[in-house]
Amino acid sequence: MSSTQHSPVNAAPVGVALVGCGYWGPNLIRNFTASRTTRLVGVCDRDQGRLDAVAGLNPAARQFTDFKELLKDPEVEAVAIATPPKTHAPFAAAALRAGKHVLVEKPLCVSSPEGEQLLALAADGNLTLMVDHTYLYSPAVRRIKKLIDSGELGRLHFFDSVRINLGLFQNDVNVLWDLACHDIAIVSHLVDRTPIAVNAHGISHTFSGMEDVAYLTLDYGDNITATFHVNWLSPVKIRQLIVGGHQKSVVFNDLDPNEPIKVYDRGINVSDEPESRHGLLVGYRMGDVWSPHLPREEPLRNMVEHFARCIRTGERPLTDGLSGLNVVRILEAAHRSIRAEGRRIPLNQPVSAAA
Amino acid sequence: MSSTQHSPVNAAPVGVALVGCGYWGPNLIRNFTASRTTRLVGVCDRDQGRLDAVAGLNPAARQFTDFKELLKDPEVEAVAIATPPKTHAPFAAAALRAGKHVLVEKPLCVSSPEGEQLLALAADGNLTLMVDHTYLYSPAVRRIKKLIDSGELGRLHFFDSVRINLGLFQNDVNVLWDLACHDIAIVSHLVDRTPIAVNAHGISHTFSGMEDVAYLTLDYGDNITATFHVNWLSPVKIRQLIVGGHQKSVVFNDLDPNEPIKVYDRGINVSDEPESRHGLLVGYRMGDVWSPHLPREEPLRNMVEHFARCIRTGERPLTDGLSGLNVVRILEAAHRSIRAEGRRIPLNQPVSAAA
Amino acid sequence: MSSTQHSPVNAAPVGVALVGCGYWGPNLIRNFTASRTTRLVGVCDRDQGRLDAVAGLNPAARQFTDFKELLKDPEVEAVAIATPPKTHAPFAAAALRAGKHVLVEKPLCVSSPEGEQLLALAADGNLTLMVDHTYLYSPAVRRIKKLIDSGELGRLHFFDSVRINLGLFQNDVNVLWDLACHDIAIVSHLVDRTPIAVNAHGISHTFSGMEDVAYLTLDYGDNITATFHVNWLSPVKIRQLIVGGHQKSVVFNDLDPNEPIKVYDRGINVSDEPESRHGLLVGYRMGDVWSPHLPREEPLRNMVEHFARCIRTGERPLTDGLSGLNVVRILEAAHRSIRAEGRRIPLNQPVSAAA
Amino acid sequence: MSSTQHSPVNAAPVGVALVGCGYWGPNLIRNFTASRTTRLVGVCDRDQGRLDAVAGLNPAARQFTDFKELLKDPEVEAVAIATPPKTHAPFAAAALRAGKHVLVEKPLCVSSPEGEQLLALAADGNLTLMVDHTYLYSPAVRRIKKLIDSGELGRLHFFDSVRINLGLFQNDVNVLWDLACHDIAIVSHLVDRTPIAVNAHGISHTFSGMEDVAYLTLDYGDNITATFHVNWLSPVKIRQLIVGGHQKSVVFNDLDPNEPIKVYDRGINVSDEPESRHGLLVGYRMGDVWSPHLPREEPLRNMVEHFARCIRTGERPLTDGLSGLNVVRILEAAHRSIRAEGRRIPLNQPVSAAA
């Protein structure tokens, strides 16, 4: 995928309607409004107060409190869903049945049967089904992907992500569904495959029983593992991904506005002789650090335009329904691992995220 | 334990001999020499070149290439062991049998049967057996211990430690024995007990098969877990411990020379009603950040003087043989968990580190 | 001044019109719109394109391309001026003559005679004249002011500010008028007086001859000096003010979202004996570092509401015309100092910023 | 000068004696001892206690409490002087008169007549006279010099240095002689010339009247200025030099152990037309940031070996007496500028630091 993509010349903007005007909805409204590839036709929320609150962002969009009415609007070609996770699948299914293309906020849904049904509905209707794993449209992740694909990092050793802060507790999902969701999507994209097994740990410190501190380890095979620490109780905010490679390594600090990505020309040199008289010979290489300049693009804008382009061209989205379903399957396996005291849960049907 | 401890007034300095003049030995020589509570009588290494290299640090100390000769020296009251981990137990056992008090570099030994034998020998001879878990003698860990014991942090939620760098590969131990060793000792000291179970993951990227990237999760009961990320392949060096408490939290950054400890007056407020109409009510408290000034003391000096004091007074060391053995048992369990694909390994005989 | 101020209960919102819809104007529109103490009646720019670009921010505001027409509108009680600096005085004078209260973006104007005229017009008409030195309404500066006024810092030693970045070159003012302007207002407010003399240095690296790198030193008497480094060519962005006090010192890092203010309990202890045998005895005190939590308030919102309150109550603005004029006088003196190769320029008529 | 220099093969080590065993002396003892190019013959201090304190660093060196005795020792080929600044000239003159090569800690001396006399004595005796401006032997400054000389930074715009901390008050010199001394030497070396004029400001907050906060601006001609902020009262320690160039800029943070030098591929683009309809057209270029890996060399070791090499080969030292004298002349001019309220003081006889 190239770093800049536009819809085909002269393609008419895609008529989009948004359902869900809470925390994230306004960001979608802003981008659907600003992009020339989309036209915001309608906005839907059962709470009229919320509709009023966002009206200024796009006064031309029609207001709906009834989702069914919205689906009847022939100008609505596509529906974007930014409601609580548990309602993603019902809204998406209804929209697909009504012949609309669908964009769903992450996670795609909260169970794999739901996800499988959505994929089937999209396939049946020949409709675009896409999930908003926004990070995959960020200049930083795009750059890291290039570095990996070019071979510059060498064989991959490990991924480690820390995504912690004193955070917005969610009511219907735990910290894995809320935060690790991003890391699963990012790393699966970077290595271009799905993991073969999952271990997870998590604890809850509230009445809800929902985990607020959790660790997830994914085995991607070939001696590559990825571990994610996600946490709603941390006094400090950290957003850091380390990609350890044999030749070079990358650190992505999403909170550093100046040098978000640093490439370290460092690594180990293992002697050819498996074992010398004095044991294993391991040497170190310390080299330059390089922080590539990244274009100032809003990931959400890139995502919105990719959605419009896929609808107009029939191209398969980078974050299609299947990649969203794979994330859901991993989160389900993580849940089982937590219940089984951290036991390894194989993912029996590895399906390529990019296939 | 008070923050400053001195040997009893007028107590004669303890005659100490050091065995092992490699990486860490010189630091011990320097501190045994500088402290008035100890007198460095002898230095032992089978490699005469190493003995010559450290001779300038204490020209008065006798040189030994034969450990048995050293043990015969009546001025040697105590032996400090800074040799490779696998040789700790044999050296320590010989010294104890010769009636010497013993200080062992971490880890105490490389198997729990070895450790049990050492404890028995020390008990039989009424000798001081101490392991150098240096961090417990640092101003930073002492301050965090005070903060926890005073109740200022409230109920503890979690510990998270990251101890990673492009590091010195060890030839006879993996990254857990090398680095996680510190974190186990620190957290077990801070919570004043040993964990009830262990989960671990680790991978190796060299011929040796020894893990160079690993994660360890300790269940301390009462909903307190501690997770440690240790890594010899990281392009960046991080030494950070987060102590999450219900009232306040602490972040200890061992690489920050100016503000190593920060206390965050932040946390969550959970509503009394287990579940409200809109789901769980969780609020946030954001308050001041405070970095207490710490005295500029060298942890190793504190440790050395504590060792001398324990010998002279018969006091039980903070890091006695039992606490060293407990760390070894946890590392053994971690090894079993890695071999069992991350399965939880209960620690059947929890024994108090501080009992 | 208390940290939160509201207009008197039941006071009608002040009808405000804005002239100048370029870089800063939209921020004022947003705040006039959001605050209940003001009502944005009109927006003026000679460029219709700019008016259209900001129309969405407040669709109810009338559009004007002719400033004279705006002044005729009886609903306009006050005019806010966000045009280029050289046009501040003519717009402000016309508005005051038309009986409107006036808020001017910093700097108040570009010459002291202009400023004196504006003060006279405001006094004659009994009108509020205020300049937007926004920083004085920020939680950070308010907190530092409290720390100084409480005596907690002790006798003040020095101020040092660094305000540098690769920046927006201005066409009609140099880097001192653009950036040092903030520091002069902040420090004069913090010490509650105007400086007695100025030294300045500056160089230009473009055809324009306008300084893009400059240093300004203000002598506030009583052995207190303030030095400001302002720079449009720096590869890195720094916004840091050090307030050195005898008891404690403060560092304000405006780019640190987490701990913008740090209070250091550190300083020197000078021996009572003026000179000892071994020379001056100066000792050091190293203590805790404390970062007070600051309320999340937008300074511009506070400023807008202070403006409305002053209009309704007749209260003298914190950043009244006189304080704006004093900043202009200092900038003029700085200009003379640069032309005189850095010579000290006395400010003959020190007038209290707070009188 | 190449980055690694060794004395000629087979050259005998230079016999060196050190006078002054206070704060800095032990560092010199350590390096004279460790290098193969020098042999520490003697150590001199009038205080026997100090001699005893450093004896362990090189037990072979003879102890002197009488400098005259030391000068009589025929094994002493060179004398290193690490006494208080005011005594540098008398010790150096006596040593040169006794036919010894001389290394003086910075500053060379405390007045230019003193310095001129030392240069004459060295020339008369055909002796090496060198001043220890240590930074010029650091990998960081060497790398910046290369970047400038290669033309990679383009035309130089400005230098800005901040060298502040809560510091060791000196008894016989002010903060300029103590700290700005380094910056003058560094920048004069980097631009390969001496400044044409000086402006300075400084204040004292103790009975001594010696400045503890000061700013120094050097005009190097060709529109290049360098400004240094030096401060003994700052609550925070900063060691940062910005080198602003037209093509690229460098930031040297001496406190960052990981990335001390960062090269920013950033700058401004000025339109060819001196003034367009809309004023000056200035654009910005934002590019990559690059931190070159630096060798881990101790600057003091490099300096010591350069001294030995110059003695053996007759090569002119990088930091010869003249460059030391030029620093003293600039500091004297700075003193006059402070007394003249910041007035510009021309340096009438610019003499090349590198001639």
Model confidence at C161: pLDDT above 80? yes
* Amino acid in the structure at residue A25: G
Question: A290 pLDDT exceeds 60?
Answer: yes
**Weakest mean pLDDT among A113-127, A257-271, B319-333, D128-142:** A257-271
Neighbours of C12 (CB within 10 A): 11
**Integer Rg of chain D from CA:** 21
Percent of chain C whose pLDDT exceeds 70: 92
Q: Which amino acid is at D257?
A: P
Q: Across residues A130-134, what is the average pLDDT?
A: 98
- D341 class by beta-carbon count within 10 Å (0-12 exposed, 13-18 middle, 19+ buried): middle
| Confidence label for D18 from pLDDT (cuts 50, 70 and 90) | very high
What backbone phi and psi angles, to 5 degrees, belong to D101? -70, 155
Q: Give D-chain residues touching C249 at CB under 8 angstroms.
A: 233-235
Name which of B259, B265, B286 is nearest C289 (Cβ-Cβ).
B259
For residue B249, list its beta bridge partners. B264
- Judging contacts by C-beta atoms under 8 Å, the chain C residues touching residue A56 are 56, 59
Instruction: For residue A250, give how far its alpha carbon lies from the nearest alpha carbon of chain B (Å).
Output: 8
Contact C231 D158 (CB under 8 A): yes
* Closest chain A CA to residue D291: A289
Residues in contact with B282: Cβ distance below 8 Å, sequence separation at least 6, in sequence order: A169, A206, B268, B269, B270, B271
pLDDT score at C350: 45
pLDDT above 60 (res D119): yes
Mind listing the pLDDT tens digit for each residue in B151-185?
999 999 999 999 999 977 777 889 999 999 999 99
Partners of C285 on chain B (C-beta within 8 Å) are none
What would the mean pLDDT of D213-238 be, rounded to a whole number?
96
Token pair for residue A12? 């008419």
Q: Sign (positive/negative) of CA torsion D82, D84, D85, D86?
A: negative
Taking CA–CA distances from B57, the nearest residue in chain D reads D56
Whether the Cβ atoms of residue D70 and residue D79 lie closer than 8 Å to each other:
yes
A293 CA: distance to closest CA in chain D (Å):
5
Hey, how many other C-beta atoms are within 10 angstroms of the C-beta on C100? 24
Q: How far is D57 from chain B (nearest CA, A)?
A: 7
Instruction: Please check the confidence at residue D56 and state whether its pLDDT lies above 90.
Output: no
- 3-state SS assignment for residue C247: coil
Q: Residue A236: list chain C partners with CB under 8 A.
A: 258
Judge whether residue B353 has pLDDT over 70. Answer: no
For residue B239, pLDDT over 70 is answered with yes
pLDDT reading at A96 higher than 50: yes
Q: How do residues D135-172 score in pLDDT, each as one tens digit? A: 999 999 999 999 999 999 999 999 999 999 997 777 78
Q: Say how far apart CA A99 and CA A81 lie, in whole Å.
A: 15
Q: Name A337's Cβ contacts closer than 8 Å, sequence gap at least 6.
A: A198, A199, A200, A201, A343, A344, A345
Q: How far, in Å, CA of C60 to CA of D16, rounded?
A: 85
**Residues C246-263: tens digit of each pLDDT:** 999 999 999 999 999 999
Give CA torsion, residues D268, D273, D276, D282, to 10 deg.
0
Whether residues B291 and C288 touch (CB distance < 8 A) is answered with yes
- Name the pTM for this structure: 0.93
Residue C49: pLDDT over 70: yes
Residues of A with CB under 8 A from a CB of C: 56, 59, 236-237, 258
Min Cα separation A192/chain D (Å):
27
Which chain C residues are within 8 Å of B285, Cβ to Cβ?
none
Taking CA–CA distances from A33, the nearest residue in chain C reads C56
Please check the confidence at residue C275 and state whether its pLDDT lies above 80. no
pLDDT score of B253 more than 60: yes
Q: A266 to chain D, minimum CA–CA distance in Å?
A: 10
Residue of C nearest to A257 (CA): C255
Q: Do the beta carbons of residue C3 and residue C295 sit within 8 Å?
A: yes
Q: What's the alpha-carbon Rg for chain C, to the nearest Å?
A: 21
Least confident of B118-122, C3-7, C273-277, D66-70: C3-7
B164, β-bridge pairs? B231, B238
Closest CA to A130 of A205, A64, A190, A80: A80
CA angle C123, C126, C130 (to 5 degrees): 70
Look at B3-12, B42-51, C166-175, C193-202 and tell me which has the smallest mean pLDDT. Answer: B3-12
Instruction: Report the residue of C23, C169, C220 to disrupt the D interface, i.e. the one with the largest count of D CBs within 10 Å.
Output: C169
What is the pLDDT averaged over residues D325-354? 86
Q: How far is D139 from chain C (nearest CA, A)?
A: 22
Cβ(D80)–Cβ(D61) below 8 Å = no
Residues B238, B239, B240, CA angle at the centre, nearest 5°? 105
Per-residue pLDDT, C274: 52
Chain D hits for A293, CB-CB cut-off 8 Å, are 265, 286-289
| Per-residue pLDDT band at D349 (split at 50, 70, 90) | low
pLDDT at B297 > cutoff 90: yes
Q: How many CB pairs under 8 A join A and C?
A: 8
Query: C290, B286: Cβ pair inside 8 Å?
Result: no
**Between the CA atoms of A187, A191, A196 and A199, what dihedral angle is there, to the nearest 10 degrees?**
-30
Type and span of the H or E element at D231: strand D225-231
The predicted structure's pLDDT at residue A284: 80
Average pLDDT score over residue span D216-220: 98
Which residue in the block uniquely carries the two structure tokens 């060792």?
A: B307
Q: How many CB atoms lie within 10 A of CB B62?
A: 15
**Separation in Å, CA of B147 to nearest CA in chain C:** 15
pLDDT of residue B281: 62
CB A224 within 8 A of CB B206: no
| Per-residue pLDDT tens over the stretch D259-303 | 999 999 998 887 655 555 445 567 788 899 999 999 999 999 999
Nearest CA in chain A to C57: A56
The pLDDT assigned to C9 comes to 54
Name the minimum distance, in Å, from the CA of D272 to any CA of chain A.
26
Mean pLDDT of chain D: 92
Query: pLDDT at residue B10 above 70?
Result: no
Would you call D286 and C166 a contact, using CB atoms and an 8 Å cutoff?
yes
Chain B residues within an 8 Å CB radius of D59: 56, 59
Whether residue A208 is predicted with pLDDT greater than 90 in this model: the reply is: no
Question: Beta partners for A215?
Answer: A201, A229
* pLDDT for the residue numbered A207: 77
Three-class SS of residue C91? helix
Alpha-carbon gap, residue D105 to D200, rounded angstroms: 24
Taking the CA of residue C289 and the nearest CA in chain A, the distance in Å comes to 17
Query: Tokens 């391309």 label which residue?
Result: C65
For chain D, domains (ranges, CATH) are: 14-135+305-313 (3.40.50.720), 139-296+327-346 (3.30.360.10)
β partners of residue C264: C249, C289
User: Residue B178: what are its φ and ψ, rounded to 5°?
Assistant: -80, -50
Of A216, A202, A208, A205, nearest in space to A172 by CA: A208
> C23: pLDDT confidence band, cut at 50, 70 and 90?
confident
Nearest to A59 among C59, C236, C258 (CB): C59
Write out chain A in H/E/C secondary structure: CCCCCCCCCCCCCEEEEEECCCCCHHHHHHHHHHCCCEEEEEEECCCHHHHHHHHHHCCCCEEECCHHHHHHCCCCCEEEECCCHHHHHHHHHHHHHCCCEEEEECCCCCCHHHHHHHHHHHHHHCCCEEEECHHHHCHHHHHHHHHHHCCCCCCEEEEEEEEEEECCCCCCCCHHHHHHHHHHHHHHHHHCCCCCEEEEEEECCCCCCCCCEEEEEEECCCCCEEEEEEECEEEEEEEEEEEEECCCEEEEECCCCCCCEEEECCEEEECCCCCECCECCEEEECCCEEECCCCCCCHHHHHHHHHHHHHHHCCCCCCEHHHHHHHHHHHHHHHHHHHCCCCCEECCCCCCCCC
Compute the average pLDDT of residues D111-122. 98
How far is the C-alpha of C318 from the C-alpha of D342, rounded, in Å? 33
Chains that touch C (3 or more CB pairs under 8 A): A, B, D
pLDDT the model gives residue D164: 97
Q: Determine the distance in angstroms separating the CA of D140 from the nearest CA of chain A, rounded to an integer.
A: 13
D204, D214 Cβ separation under 8 angstroms: no
The answer to whether the peptide bond before residue D260 is cis (omega within 30 degrees of 0) is no
Which of D197, D231, D266 lies closest to C166 in CB terms? D266
| Contact residues, chain D to chain A, C-beta under 8 Å | 258-259, 265, 286-293
**Where residue B86 falls among pLDDT bands split at 50, 70, 90?**
very high
Alpha carbons A234 and A237: distance in angstroms, whole number: 7
The single-letter code of the amino acid at D275 is: E
- Alpha carbons D84 and D71: distance in angstroms, whole number: 19
For residue C196 the two structure tokens come to 């007695």
* Residue D113, CA distances (Å) to D101, D122, D172, D181, D322 in order: 20, 14, 18, 18, 12
More confident residue, C170 or B294: B294
Whether A289 sits inside 8 A of D293 (CB atoms) is yes
C208-267 pLDDT tens trace:
889 999 999 999 999 999 999 999 999 999 999 999 999 999 999 999 999 999 999 998
Helices (H), B134-197: 139-149, 175, 181-191
pLDDT at D196 exceeding the cut of 90: yes
Report the residue of chain C nearest B290, measured CA to CA: C290
Q: What are phi and psi of A135, to 5 degrees?
A: -55, -30
Nearest CA in chain D to B33: D56
- Residue C288 has its nearest CB partner, among B286, B287, B293, at B293
**Per residue in C89-113, pLDDT tens?**
999 999 999 999 999 999 999 999 9
Residues of A with Cβ-Cβ distance to B213 under 8 angstroms:
157-158, 225, 244
Residues of B with CB under 8 A from a CB of C: 258-259, 265, 286-293
Per-residue pLDDT for C4 more than 70?
Answer: no
D86, D155, D201: best to mutate for the C interface, most C CBs within 10 A: D201
8 Å CB contact between C260 and C246: no
Amino acid (one-letter) located at D337:
S
Given a cut of 60, whether residue B40 has pLDDT beyond it is: yes
pLDDT at B198 over 50: yes
CA–CA dist B62, B71 (Å, integer): 12
Tens of pLDDT, residue by residue over B273-285, are 555 544 556 778 8
Selecting from A164, A207, A343 the residue whose C-beta is nearest the C-beta of B343 gives: A343
- At B283, give phi and psi (nearest 5°): -115, 170
Q: What is the mean pLDDT of chain C?
A: 92
Mutation to test the C interface, candidates D213, D248, D339, most C Cβ within 10 Å: D213
Q: pLDDT grade, residue B75 (50/70/90)?
A: very high
Residue B100 pLDDT greater than 70, yes or no = yes
Question: What would you measure as the largest C-alpha separation in chain B, in angstroms?
Answer: 78
The neighbour count for residue A45, using CB atoms within 10 Å, is 23
- DSSP label of B86: G
